[in-house]
Amino acid sequence: MPVLPILYSFRRCPYAMRARLALVVSGGRCELREVVLRDKPQAMLSASAKGTVPVLITPEGFVIDESLDIMLWALEQNDPESWLKPQRGSRAAMLELIAQFDGGFKHHLDRYKYPNRHADAGTAPDHRAACATHLLALEQRLSDTAFLFGGHATLADMAIAPFVRQFAHTDEAWFKSQPWPRLAGWLADWEALALFDRVMHKYAPWYPGQATTMFPAQDAGSR
């Protein structure tokens, strides 16, 4: 049997979510180790001292512990839907937009979603307003094209959507009341993808010594 990559993941984590999206679309398979965040396995901590998911161990034994790097690793092996080849712009432009969301947007998202964890960092409405500036820019970008960089989904769409979803679900009524119909439609279409269903399939937590869990599962598709 060939040696498979090992992926430490947590189903609801947006970073792990986007790594799984790229792994599935690339057509690859791996051994999935679903992590319980309050009881992180020592094997994962030994592989990556960061202690955060996702962590991928390649068949050659290399450790990749940044979600965007996992996406690029998978897609550079096989990119059947051209996520790395935008119709508009370039890979560098996609990475720049992703960096804006991984940086400023995520900073304010954490403080909007979890205000009790950041009690000295401004009010939740302040951070929501800061996030909204980023989202209005996406609305403008979607004004004449279905996706962020043209007529098909790209790395940027798939890397950013999990965080927009997290923001939208924090206060769904407020999100739906805002002047970004194209963005809302883009997010709804992404959540309706069969691919999204596959990566949100539920897996039992992994513990050392248990049988291997293959990802994606053959029957994946139910959340």
Structural domains of the chain, ranges and CATH numbers in brackets: 6-80+200-215 (3.40.30.10), 91-192 (1.20.1050.10)
**Alpha helices by DSSP H, 105-154:** 106-113, 124-141
pLDDT tens digits for 98-123?
999 999 999 999 999 998 887 777 89
Structure confidence at residue 1 (pLDDT): 60
| pLDDT over 70 at 222, yes or no | no
Structure confidence at residue 176 (pLDDT): 97
| pLDDT over 60 at 14, yes or no | yes
Nearest to 164 by CA among 46, 17, 51, 31: 17
What is the DSSP secondary structure assignment for residue 154, as one 8-state letter?
-
| pLDDT over 80 at 220, yes or no | no
Mean pLDDT for the chain overall? 95
Given the structure tokens 């996702």, which residue do they identify? 54
pLDDT tens digits for 184-205?
999 999 999 999 999 999 999 9
pLDDT tens digits for 125-143?
999 999 999 999 999 999 9
Structure confidence at residue 219 (pLDDT): 66
Distance CA 215, CA 211 (A): 13
Nearest to 33 by CA among 54, 63, 47: 54
φ and ψ of 55, to 5 deg: -130, 125
| pLDDT over 60 at 68, yes or no | yes
Distance CA 163, CA 169 (A): 10
Record the tokens describing residue 43, joined without a space: 């094997």
Nearest to 17 by CA among 147, 169, 146, 141: 169
What is the DSSP secondary structure assignment for residue 39, as one 8-state letter?
G
Structure confidence at residue 117 (pLDDT): 85
**E-state strands within 35-165:** 55-57, 63-64
Structure confidence at residue 20 (pLDDT): 98
Secondary structure (3-state) at 25:
helix
